[in-house]
Amino acid sequence: MSTSWIRHFGYKRALGYLPLELREGIIGATWHSSMAKGWVDENQWDGRARYDQICRYAARSKLRHWIALDDDVKGWAEGAAQRLIACVPDLGLSSAQTQTELQKRLREMCSFQG
């Protein structure tokens, strides 16, 4: 899970706002105190683009097939757009357009892995 809300609400509370079906597919979050390990200064992690944080998490978790639902699209590599579902920060998953795009991408990802 990658969202600005996680730093505000914490992982468990932010996770609790998701529908059960989606919550069950969440395997972790890009921000956790342990995510900053390996950097000289924990504040360096905060200064990284979320794209960098997500990619580091995916690499550490050895994820091959993943998509990111994110409300911070700054710094995303042009070639990684197929992995990003951008959402409006104030709406998040409550946006019907975001929900539709997420459903579409999850179906595509599942059929690709099939």
**Tens digit of each residue's pLDDT, the chain (114 residues):** 666 677 777 788 888 888 888 888 787 777 665 554 554 455 554 556 788 888 888 888 898 888 888 888 888 888 888 899 998 888 888 899 998 998 899 888 888 665
> Are 58 and 33 in contact, with CB atoms under 8 Å apart?
no
What is the pLDDT, as a whole number, of residue 40? 44
Which amino acid type is present at position 106?
L
> Are 3 and 70 in contact, with CB atoms under 8 Å apart?
yes
Helix (H) or strand (E) holding 92: none
Residue with tokens 């914490």: 10
Identify the bridge partners of residue 84 per DSSP, sorted by sequence position. Answer: 68
Which amino acid type is present at position 82?
Q
> Are 76 and 51 in contact, with CB atoms under 8 Å apart?
yes
Helix (H) or strand (E) holding 9: helix 5-9
Report the number of distinct structural domains present in the chain.
1
Residue with tokens 């395997």: 27
- Print the domain residue range for 26: 5-113
Task: Look at the pTM and tell me if it is higher than 0.85.
Answer: no
